Amino acid sequence: MKLRYDSPVFEFMNTLAAFIGLNVLFLITCLPVITIGPALTALYTVTMQEARREHGYIFSTYLKAFRSSFVPSCLGFVLYLAAAAVLIFNVAFWSALQTVLANAVLLLLTFAIVVAAISFLYTFPLLARFDGSLKQVLKSSFPIAMAHRKYTFGLLVIQAAAIAGCLVIPQAKIFMLLVGFSFLAYCNSFLFVRVFRDYEGDAGPETENTAKTLLEHV
């Protein structure tokens, strides 16, 4: 039997192998922890490119994006890490008091956590797609998320499903290690592509260039 390289089965296996390789590369570049930010930006650079059907060289695109976004993405991740530490400390502190004032503060902290989580979800895809400064991206992330609440809700559902799957299904952790992070980013990317269209120019080969300046006006 002659092997057809253009068959759906071969294309699926080829895509699966590419996403497994991308997932492994992502995990390796996350190992120093502080590089999780650049790794996320690079991952979304590739997966949004694939979601837009602008197929290219996955690994070279990833490494190029990882290097070019290293400083702002690192700084962004450190800022979110510091914010998370402050919020967790305050939640633990005020939870122990068990007073009316403490409950009011905990309500405010819950709101702050939701805002931070949504902003974090948008920050690295924005860094991957636009050429704005980190300050512009951090300032724009939550307003953009709220302007597209339907897609933001979809993104939150996807993340919640992934977390619940890992907690309930033991095999899901193996899936995440093999291909899960790249697959999750790929699923997210279809929604991010729809959101970012409102801040890009007309679709076309020059879209990446026109998208770079429009973030300033969000």
* pLDDT at residue 115 is higher than 80: yes
pLDDT classification of 13: cutoffs 50, 70, 90: confident
CA distance to 37, 101, 110, per residue, from 96 (Å)? 33, 12, 15
Position 204 pLDDT exceeds 60:
no
DSSP 98: -
pLDDT, tens digit, for every residue of 139-152?
Answer: 999 999 999 999 99
Q: How far apart, in Å, are the Cα atoms of 211 and each of 2, 24, 127, 151, 188?
A: 45, 30, 11, 19, 19
Unique residue bearing structure tokens 């609440």? 149
Distance of alpha carbon 73 from alpha carbon 71, whole angstroms: 6
Q: What is the pLDDT of residue 205?
A: 41
Determine contact, residues 180/172, Cβ cutoff 8 Å: yes
pLDDT, tens digit (0-9, with 9 covering 90-100), for 149-192: 999 999 999 999 999 999 998 888 888 888 999 999 999 999 99
The yes-or-no verdict on residue 87 having pLDDT over 90 is yes
Residue 15's pLDDT is 79
Q: What percent of the chain has pLDDT over 70?
A: 86
